[in-house]
């Protein structure tokens, strides 16, 4: 006779009762094999993240900060050309090579910014939180939890970091983010000789204004704005918005107070209501008239409707410029070193971001690089030009990285270590038809 009982909600058990010689015998309880495999996979994932964390710190140790003399121009501006030292963690942690950061990031398939954050967290933990580091390496604390801790500790002096490490390392896997923050605050209080300066720096560091342009596509073209201002600045802004919204009441009686305040802020950005139009707001949009839908592609934003674009053009005395269609497959040439305006526009439309591996920096703010150097015989042609952000341009020029163009939107990069990266920007290419 067999029976099946329901066990713990996370563990299913099967009990079998056999009748033999007049006595009931229960078999051993078995854990569901799927759950067992899931636990093993989760632990393997924790250990893999710890191993990558360790390799990040090891890579930094193998590539210490280079000793460089800054190049200062006649006007006193410091210019950076070659590899530069970067400090990614708190007091007492070593610096490292900036170019090495980018090479590690490319190897693990993330952007240079993300690689920088990972290496910084690893250096912070290894050199300033040794107890926590030991538990991470043992797989007892996940890397993601430690990175939330290092975000808080990197600003602490060495005694403060040691305090946090001593008190949180044994229980970190059980701590909430709020508990981590409170432990850091306590560490500040325990470090009395540093506390006053830390408080001053922390207060100044809390001021910010954030304009989240990347979130505009989530709000139908509206951009979230938030910030934390010093009181006199906030008071001046509030008075300006009150005056501006009142001034707009006669012109826009149908708008709510909140809408008029938002419009008044736009007037302030354009130079004030009396001088609106002095500042130029540039929005690049792309549309093929032959297409039946009313959707336009807006650079850095995504897609929006023609009606929304029309509304934008009605604000702030907008100046609208319609540029001629560019054939992205035409090979434009100039004998000069500096590309023409048409060549630059063509290069940006062909590859809207930096063409280095995993880099998403907008091509509008990038350098236009001669893939084959101009002084080595490379011509200023469409085929030989590609957008690179300043860091990756320096790496190509001074860091022994090389690359070649395979198609209009596909590039093959080779690192100083000999690793090859196939970068394809086909999906980001602007539509021309």
Q: Would you state the pLDDT for residue 198?
A: 56
* Least confident interval from 14-28, 58-72, 98-112, 195-209: 14-28
Phi, psi of 208 (to 5 degrees): -165, 160
Q: Are residues 155 and 42 in the same domain?
A: yes
Q: Are residues 81 and 16 in the same domain?
A: no
Return the higher-pLDDT residue of 370 and 2.
370
Residue 398 has pLDDT above 50, yes or no: yes
Q: Would you state the pLDDT for residue 178?
A: 87
Residue 433 lies in a domain: no
Q: Give the rounded percent of residues in the chain with a pLDDT score beyond 90.
A: 43
Number of structural domains in the chain: 4
**Residues 157-185 pLDDT 10s:** 898 899 899 989 999 988 888 888 888 88
Q: Are residues 238 and 144 in the same domain?
A: no
Q: Which of 206, 228, 263 is the last residue of a domain?
A: 206
**Residues 375-386 pLDDT 10s:** 999 999 999 999
In whole angstroms, what is the distance from residue 416 CA to residue 177 CA?
Answer: 40
| Chain CA centroid to CA 293, Å | 33
Q: Are residues 83 and 151 in the same domain?
A: yes
What is the span of the domain harbouring residue 300? 213-313
**Residues 335-370 pLDDT 10s:** 999 999 999 999 998 998 999 999 989 898 899 999
Q: Which of 330, 337, 296 is nearest to 313 (CA)?
A: 296
Residue 278 lies in a domain: yes
Average pLDDT on 100-110 reads: 95
Residue 59 lies in a domain: yes
Q: Which of 141, 176, 206 is the last residue of a domain?
A: 206
In whole angstroms, what is the distance from residue 165 CA to residue 167 CA?
Answer: 6
Task: Please count the helices (runs of H) and the strands (runs of E) in the chain.
Answer: 13, 18
DSSP string, 157-216: -HHHHHHHHHHHGGGGGG--HHHHHHHHHHHHHH-HHHHHHHHHHHHHHT-EEEE-GGGG
Residue 6's pLDDT band (cuts 50, 70, 90): very low
Q: Are residues 248 and 272 in the same domain?
A: yes
Residue 315's pLDDT band (cuts 50, 70, 90): low
**Residues 262-297 pLDDT 10s:** 888 888 876 654 444 444 556 667 666 666 666 777
Q: Are residues 372 and 416 in the same domain?
A: yes
């Amino acid at each position: 006779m067999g029976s099946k009982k329901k066990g713990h909600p996370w563990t299913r058990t099967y009990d079998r009762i056999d009748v033999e010689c007049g006595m009931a015998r229960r078999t051993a309880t078995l854990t569901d094999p799927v759950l067992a495999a899931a636990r093993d996979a989760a632990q393997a994932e924790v250990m893999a993240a710890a191993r990558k964390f360790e390799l990040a710190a090891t890579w930094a140790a193998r590539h210490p900060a280079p000793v460089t003399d800054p190049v200062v121009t006649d006007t006193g501006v410091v210019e950076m050309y070659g590899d530069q030292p970067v400090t990614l963690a708190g007091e007492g942690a070593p610096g490292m090579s900036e170019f090495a950061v980018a090479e590690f990031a490319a190897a693990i398939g993330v952007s240079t910014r993300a690689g920088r954050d990972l290496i910084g967290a690893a250096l912070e933990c290894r050199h300033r939180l040794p107890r926590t580091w030991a538990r991470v390496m043992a797989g007892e604390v996940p890397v993601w939890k430690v990175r939330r801790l290092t975000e808080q500790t990197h600003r602490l002096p060495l005694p403060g970091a040691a305090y946090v490490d001593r008190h949180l390392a044994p229980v970190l896997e059980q701590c909430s983010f709020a508990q981590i923050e409170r432990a850091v605050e306590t560490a500040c209080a325990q470090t009395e000789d540093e506390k006053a300066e830390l408080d001053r720096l922390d207060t100044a560091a809390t001021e910010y204004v954030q304009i989240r342009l990347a979130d505009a596509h989530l709000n139908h073209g509206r951009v979230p704005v938030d910030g934390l201002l010093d009181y006199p600045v906030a008071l001046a802004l509030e008075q300006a918005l009150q005056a501006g919204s009142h001034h707009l009441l006669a012109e826009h009686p149908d708008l709510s107070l909140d809408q008029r305040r938002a419009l008044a802020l736009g007037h302030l950005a354009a130079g004030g209501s009396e001088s609106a139009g002095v500042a130029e707001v540039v929005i690049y949009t792309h549309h093929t008239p032959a297409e039946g839908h009313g959707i336009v592609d807006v650079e850095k934003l995504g897609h929006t409707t023609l009606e929304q674009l029309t509304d934008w053009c009605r604000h702030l005395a907008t100046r609208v410029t319609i540029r001629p269609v560019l054939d992205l497959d035409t090979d434009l040439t100039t004998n000069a070193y500096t590309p023409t305006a048409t060549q630059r526009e063509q290069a940006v439309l062909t590859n809207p971001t930096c063409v280095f591996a995993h880099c998403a920096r907008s091509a509008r703010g990038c350098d236009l690089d001669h893939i084959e150097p101009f002084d080595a015989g490379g011509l200023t042609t469409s085929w030989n030009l590609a957008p690179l952000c300043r860091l990756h341009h320096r790496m190509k020029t001074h860091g022994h990285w090389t690359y070649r163009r395979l198609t209009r939107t596909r590039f093959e990069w080779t690192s100083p270590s000999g690793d090859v990266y196939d970068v394809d920007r086909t999906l980001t290419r602007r539509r021309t038809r």
